[in-house]
């Protein structure tokens, strides 16, 4: 009986120790490339990801946004990225996030813009006011328009197309909310 009890206790302790050992090990999660993230990002919203790439851009204004070479996706951190990371290969861990706008958000954006335009035109009463909806942007022919009212119109058109598919929003942005940045040290061969 004592042998059996001793064997059961020893086995239980071995299992507990084995579990504790496996939990304390930090397993290396395989990283995807920036190109792979670009291709899969719409399917990874709210997922944790690990991405490796070469830093191509760090925001000069806040230092809290970064892009990799070959990626349209940006990485956002609550801290400032070290400028020394420029041109370096790094490993980013984080969560894929998506910013959406519905018709209420588009309406609010339009109302704010109209109020700002009214205030601006009141301040410039001496100049002839353009007709409502008249295009005022100055850009080269064939260049994409930056007019805010035109962008709102395009958002409404995109939302209308989405509504036909049962989707009541448009995606404004997808990015990775960074939780960890690690420089990648290439092993000598």
Contact 54, 68 (CB under 8 A): yes
Contact 52, 90 (CB under 8 A): yes
Q: What is the pLDDT of residues 113-158, one digit of tens each?
A: 888 887 777 666 555 555 554 555 555 565 555 688 888 999 999 9
Token pair recorded at residue 149: 């009212």
Q: What is the pTM of this model?
A: 0.66
Instruction: Give residues with Cβ within 8 angstroms of 100, minimum separation 6.
Output: 169, 170, 171, 172
Q: What pLDDT shows up at residue 22? A: 37
pLDDT band at 36 (very low <50, low <70, confident <90, very high): very high
Token pair recorded at residue 163: 């509504």
pLDDT band at 181 (very low <50, low <70, confident <90, very high): very high
Q: Work out the mean pLDDT of the chain and round it to a whole number.
A: 79
Q: What is the pLDDT of residues 77-89, one digit of tens each?
A: 999 999 999 999 9
How far is CA 50 from each of CA 5, 53, 175, 179, rounded to the nearest angstrom? 46, 10, 13, 10
Taking alpha carbons only, the member of 73, 59, 66 closest to residue 88 is 66
């Amino acid at each position: 009986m004592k042998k059996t009890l001793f064997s059961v206790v020893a086995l239980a302790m071995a299992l507990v120790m084995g579990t504790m050992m496996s939990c304390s090990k930090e397993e290396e999660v395989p990283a995807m490339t920036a190109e792979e993230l670009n291709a899969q990002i719409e399917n990874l919203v709210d997922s944790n990801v690990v991405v490796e790439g070469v830093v191509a851009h760090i925001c000069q204004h806040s230092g809290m946004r970064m892009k990799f070479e070959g990626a349209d996706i940006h990485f956002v951190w609550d801290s400032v990225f070290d400028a020394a990371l420029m041109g370096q290969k790094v490993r980013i861990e984080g969560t894929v996030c998506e910013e959406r706008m519905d018709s209420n958000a588009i309406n609010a954006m339009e109302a704010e813009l109209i109020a700002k335009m009214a205030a601006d035109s009141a301040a410039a009463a001496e100049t002839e006011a353009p007709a409502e909806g008249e295009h005022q942007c100055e850009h080269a022919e064939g260049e994409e328009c930056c007019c805010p009212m035109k962008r709102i119109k395009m958002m409404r058109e995109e939302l209308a197309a989405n509504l036909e598919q049962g989707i009541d929003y448009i995606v404004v942005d997808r990015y990775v909310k960074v939780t960890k940045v690690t420089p990648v040290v290439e092993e000598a061969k």
